[in-house]
Structure 1
Amino acid sequence: MEALIQEILVRLERMESGMNEKLAVLRQEMNDRFDHLYRKLDEYQAENIAADEKLLTLIGVTNDRLDYQLSRVVKSEEEIFLLKRAGKLRFDPT
């Protein structure tokens, strides 16, 4: 009876050892996968930051162009106003 119990204990220890090995391999695989995901996320984040910076630059250029056009419109309106005031410009909508 004692030999049977001893055999069962030996088998259980082998099973435990095998399970521990499998668990260690699984942990390593999961860590590798998480590391891979973290690297991918870092790459995507860097790409998004670069794209955002480029977009902000283009928005700034567009704003500068709009400011320039607005200043031209204001100058033209001012010139029309002064010409009307001086009586040199008559507007006949008909």
Structure 2
Amino acid sequence: PNGLTGDQIPEIAKIISVAEVYDTLTASDTYRTQMSSFEALTELRRVAGSQLDARYVEVLAGLLTGESVDYRHADAADFDTELDMERRIREAGAHA
């Protein structure tokens, strides 16, 4: 947006972009087939570095690895799992 590139793009915008693309790819929608978490991460990695910030793609991949992510959508939310994810996100941010 606004012709910004690379380091001109705010970090929060880069993070939100990765999350938004993942959410869109894994959401159940009427106009396209829902992707699994694995398929979505494969697609994110394919465009990492050109359309999305590769660092944040890998942070998301690290957070999601080894667990079911069906709860990522509000219609399938599990409160305890969401709290655990919040903790993991904070810890990952502290180590970044």
**TM-score band w.r.t. shorter chain:** under 0.3
**TM-score under structure 2 length normalisation:** 0.22
Pick 1 or 2: higher relative contact order, CA cutoff 8 A, min separation 6.
2
Q: Which has more helix, going by share of residues?
A: 1
**TM-score under structure 1 length normalisation:** 0.23
